[in-house]
Structure 1
């Protein structure tokens, strides 16, 4: 993450796992919570009855 952080060239930085199924309005929802005095916004994913090998890995 540090390498990505240092390479970032924009005002907004999003770190999101590649194995998540995010809704199309995910970034809009995150940015809608932003205010001038906000330092960070966190949206932890929630698993729902995962099955199989990769579910066990998670």
Structure 2
């Protein structure tokens, strides 16, 4: 959560948490936390070519 807070430049983690919940981004928060957890954690992303089709 602290990394997301820093990226969004929020002074309070409560603010970051409130926005993530309000926007329905709980799963995004969880994915970011897992992805930023360190080595060995992989969050797959589709490439532009794969997304087109």
**TM-score when scaled to structure 2?**
0.23
The structure having more radius of gyration, on CA atoms, is 1
Richer in helix (by share): 2
